[in-house]
Amino acid sequence: MCGVVGFWAEAKLEGQSEMVQAMADRLAYRGPDDVGTWADAELGVALGHRRLSIIDLSPAGHQPMTSPCGRLTLAYNGEIYNHLNLRAELEREGGHFNWRGQSDTETLLAALRHWGIIGTLERANGMFAFALWDRGTRQLCLARDRMGEKPLYYGRSRSTFLFGSELKALTVHPQWQGVVNRNALTLYLRHNYIPAPWSIYQGICKLPPAHFVVVGNNGADIGEPQCYWNLAAVAETGVAASADAGDSQMLADELDGLLRDAVGRRMAADVPLGAFLSGGYDSTMVVAQMQAQSTRPVKTFTIGFHETDYNEAKHAKAVADHLGTDHTELYVTPTEAMAVIPELPTIWDEPFSDSSQIPTYLVSRLARQQVTVSLSGDGGDELFCGYNRYVLGYRIWCKFSYLPAGIRKILSFILARIPVGRLEQVMGLLPRRLQIPHLGDRLPKLAEVLGHQNGEAFYRNLVSHWKSPAEIVIGSREPETLLGNSAQYPNLPGLRERMMYLDAMTYLPDDILTKVDRASMAVSLEARVPLLDHRVVEFAWRVPTALKYRGGQGKWLLREVLYRYVPRELMDRPKMGFGVPIEHWLRGPLREWAEDLLDENRLRHEGFFDPAPIRRMWNEHVSGQRRWHYYLWDVLMFQAWLEEESSITCRIDASSLSRTAALH
């Protein structure tokens, strides 16, 4: 696992190697073991790399790496799990390869030289983001893995094309001019993350998963991203074939074998390896498959909380005891968890407000004390129907969608206008057995459900925080995304399938995988995600929905495979999210911090948000009238990021002045 950076300037710049070195050094934690730079002074192009050594720890894996012919230069972040198979295939096809070492970087570079971009990307099984400079064509190619496990930002600032694994690397370049994209800010308020291809800065994009982009003409010509693996086509083809997929036993056997291979490939490392274990189905499946292939106890790691509603550690411990892993758990106090909050803007680099980022960082930090690579169970929910919205949410929509649209609209109008504050007061006078918890929150949500015209709009509402974010962000217009453009949806049989597809295209790469990448990389830990092996993804879409959702529960087929390794009674319990009690912290120990960031005069001076609705929510939340913590956390994380971004800009400006003075 590593970090890549680089630039291509229209005008020749002095000190190119020093510039790209500074960019790479901003990502030192992504690759603390080695640093490398490469530059073509005449053409104004430079690549930089930070290395976390995992496979072939020798200098033979040093990057940027240039092909023996001198034509191609590669800076690459990630792992190609089938790279030895690719080496064998290259040799069978008659290529003459004088391998210098055993690194997958060397394999990838040879493959790109032999098969080209598309041929290599179609063959590679891995997680990656890379930059390839072709001296012959004078083109720069950027590419990203199929599911979006590894990040890559790119775009122009002034007269220079910039790219990097994280935004903070771009901000070091002297040509950097970061301007907040207010339209992207509306998307952030809706989703608690900024979806690809947008970033928080104008002119800077995220490369979408399963795409590559070609850049030419001194970085002035940026092509349209090209797709090399289409999840929509995978979903359509899989669903069409699901009727003939076979019986449940045969599919369970196939899934078991696929997972065994996917996990086994991700256990290859020349450094200590372990796994995150929450005790849920996905992480337990990964650890069970690891232990089945290991001759020694697998190292597993869990974070626990003393608050019962947020603690999964006891379940993880029971699973670890059954599987016989070498288990480490750490119970974290609220003070220890909240101590992470000041670091979040720097770690996530652009506004990001999924509060499970806190325990994800903590468990990564815990694991890094013993291992350099950790496997994670992410992806199972999107592939095998695990989220509550596929079960309870789908059931609610089906019940209310039978009502005529006119009646739904009237009911929505009435429910939205019930004075919830007064209703909560009345509810408090009733005996406890007759009280409905959080009725003031539930009635408005029910009104929203009733007001939607179709299932897609209902789903979009479910995954939205702020429902009309352009009304909050001053001078903005919310861009259309995949969630609002049904013309781009594949031909799938029902709402449940469309929800799983949309989550895999948006929430999974832009929230879940972003969270895991930043949290793990912040402590120089490589996180690998076996369930997102593209062969498992393609298989999952061939599984009939009736074998994913059965008996009122999701993940049926995955569960059946897991029960081959772990007793059913050990696993059958309600699903618990990986979260922290932000709701209570904002009313208690975080109140003063939040009050400062949400100060009305401050909001008005900064000019991004309309203070009135934010202050109303804050006052209602603090008083206990309503639970607005999700909405408020979005604003707070932007405010904290903005504060950090301003201080970084000042430091960079000062550093730039020093470098300029030194050059003269």
Contacts of 595 (CB under 8 A, 6+ apart): 618
**What is the Cα–Cα distance from 598 to 140, expressed in whole angstroms?**
43
Instruction: Dihedral sign for Cα 183, 187, 193, 194, please.
Output: negative
Q: How many CA atoms lie within 13 A of 449 on its CB side?
A: 20
Query: For the purposes of burial, counting CB atoms within 10 Å of the CB of 153, is it exposed (0-12), middle (13-18) or buried (19 or more)?
Result: buried
Q: How many CA atoms lie within 13 A of 370 on its CB side?
A: 16
Count of CB atoms situated within 10 Å of the CB of 526: 25
- Give, in order, the Cα–Cα distances in Å from 43 to each of 11, 13, 219: 9, 10, 10
Instruction: Dihedral sign for Cα 92, 98, 102, 103, please.
Output: negative
20 within 8 A of 41, measured Cβ to Cβ:
no
**What is the Cα–Cα distance from 536 to 529, expressed in whole angstroms?**
11
| Token pair 């498959």 in the structure block, residue | 289
Give every strand in the sheet of 2-9, ordered side by side: 34-40, 45-51, 2-9, 160-164, 153-157, 204-206
- Give, in order, the Cα–Cα distances in Å from 5 to each of 39, 199, 200, 574: 12, 17, 18, 43
Pick the catalytic residue from 2, 141, 205, 385: 2
Contacts of 247 (CB under 8 A, 6+ apart): none
**What is the Cα–Cα distance from 551 to 553, expressed in whole angstroms?**
6
Contacts 24+ apart (CB under 8 A), 581-584: 581/307, 581/309, 581/310, 581/334, 582/355, 582/629, 582/633, 583/621, 583/627, 583/629
**What is the Cα–Cα distance from 213 to 196, expressed in whole angstroms?**
14
451 within 8 A of 408, measured Cβ to Cβ:
yes
402-425: buried (b, 16+ CB within 10 Å) or exposed (e) per residue? eeeeeebeebbeebeeeebeeebe
Count of CB atoms situated within 10 Å of the CB of 107: 24
Give the tokens for residue 199.
Answer: 């970033």
- Give, in order, the Cα–Cα distances in Å from 609 to each of 191, 421, 437, 480: 17, 26, 31, 20
Residue type, 567: P
Q: How many CA atoms lie within 13 A of 8 on its CB side?
A: 25
205 is catalytic: no
**What is the Cα–Cα distance from 92 to 115, expressed in whole angstroms?**
13
- Number of helices and strands in the chain (H, E): 30, 18
Check residue 390 and report its DSSP letter: I
Three-point CA angle 206, 209, 210, nearest 5°: 135
**What is the Cα–Cα distance from 17 to 15, expressed in whole angstroms?**
6
Q: Is 202 helix (H, G, I), strand (E, B) or coil?
A: coil
170 within 8 A of 46, measured Cβ to Cβ:
no
Would you name the residues annotated as active-site residues?
A: 2
